């Protein structure tokens, strides 16, 4: 069986304490740190940009997984790579030239991720298999944490796993991951589970033990 990685989304962390929050979740045993960048245009919410990512980077020992919910995206790739992102994920829906976008990400030395909104099919992935290191299946409409898991995405994930087979491409699942939904997505072939509210609930920088319990429960 595939090793499952947990990637807490700092969208659910204390925005005034990102450094300490990243250190706390790593100390509590997470695998990757998932960083949600939103522009108020591609998605109806705004978070932060590359300078915040660079500041966070100093507090992350492991993989910094940057999810770009921005359009246009190409002109910002170098800045996010320079911020120290290990994985940079762009949305298929963010522009007409996803192939070029993925090429540009790889050219920086970062791993290239491709995210699909819930209403987007997997057909395009077949033409990008040699261009991606990760495919992110959104199980909520992107923009906010704490939304309800969209069940119809499980079949999509299973079809994506069949398409990817044993290629070294991660299937990441983002949105609504809980103790209840995590086994479903793992069985459907996901190997990186992003979880925001489910990891950060009940804990804080001052009291981070619940983060660890939440990670282990997922
Ligand atoms: C949604 C973000 C997610 C979000 C997940 O737009 O991409 O990473 O933080 O939050 P939960 O786990 O609370 O659904
Ligand atoms: Zn995300």
What is the number of the ligand 1 atom nearest to the C-alpha of 38?
A: 6
Q: What is the mean pLDDT of residues 1-26?
A: 95
Residue 1 reports pLDDT greater than 70: no
DSSP class per residue in 77-100? HHHHHHTT-SEEEEEGGG-S-HHH
What's the CA gap between 20 and 161, in Å, rounded?
36
Contact 185, 139 (CB under 8 A): yes
Q: What is the DSSP track for 120-161?
A: --SGGGGGSTTT-SEEEEESS-TT-SSPPP-TTHHHHHHHHH
> What's the pLDDT tens digit per position in 131-167?
999 999 999 999 999 999 999 999 999 999 999 999 9
Residues 160-186 have pLDDT tens digits of: 999 999 999 999 999 999 999 999 999
Pocket of ligand 1 (CB under 6 A): 9, 11-12, 34, 36, 67, 140, 142-143, 145-147, 174-177, 194-198
Question: What pLDDT does residue 195 have?
Answer: 98
Query: pLDDT tens for residues 49-79?
Result: 999 999 999 999 999 999 999 999 999 999 9
Question: Could you give the CA distance from residue 144 to residue 136 in angstroms, rounded to a whole number?
Answer: 16
Ligand 1 atom closest to the Cα of residue 147 is: 14
Q: Give residue 2's pLDDT.
A: 74
The interface predicted TM-score of the complex, written ipTM, equals 0.98
Backbone angles phi, psi at 90, to 5 degrees: -115, 155
Sorted by where each begins, the domain ranges of the chain are 5-217
Whole-model pTM: value is: 0.98
Q: What is the pLDDT of residues 81-125, one digit of tens each?
A: 999 999 999 999 999 999 999 999 999 999 999 999 999 999 999
Superfamily of domain 5-217: Aldolase class I (3.20.20.70)
Find the 90 Cα to ligand 1 centroid distance in Å. Answer: 15
């Amino acid at each position: 069986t595939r090793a499952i990685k947990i990637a807490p989304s700092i969208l659910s962390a204390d925005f005034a304490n990102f450094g300490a929050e990243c250190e706390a979740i790593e100390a509590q045993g997470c695998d990757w740190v998932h960083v949600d960048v939103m522009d108020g245009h591609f998605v109806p919410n705004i978070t932060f940009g590359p300078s915040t990512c660079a500041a966070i980077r100093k507090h992350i020992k492991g993989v910094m997984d940057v999810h770009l919910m921005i359009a246009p995206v190409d002109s910002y790739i170098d800045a996010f790579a320079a911020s120290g992102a290990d994985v940079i994920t762009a949305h298929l829906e963010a522009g007409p030239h996803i192939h070029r976008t993925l090429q540009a990400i790889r050219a920086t030395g970062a791993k290239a991720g491709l995210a699909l909104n819930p209403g987007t099919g997997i057909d395009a992935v077949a033409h990008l298999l040699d261009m991606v290191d990760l495919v992110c299946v959104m199980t909520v409409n992107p923009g906010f944490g704490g939304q309800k898991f969209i069940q119809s995405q499980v079949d999509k994930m299973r079809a994506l796993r069949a398409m990817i087979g044993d290629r070294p491409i991660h299937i990441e699942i983002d949105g609504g991951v809980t103790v209840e939904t995590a086994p479903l997505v793992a069985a459907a072939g996901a190997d990186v589970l992003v979880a925001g509210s489910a990891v950060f609930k009940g804990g804080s920088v001052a009291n981070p033990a619940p983060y660890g319990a939440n990670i282990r429960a997922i």
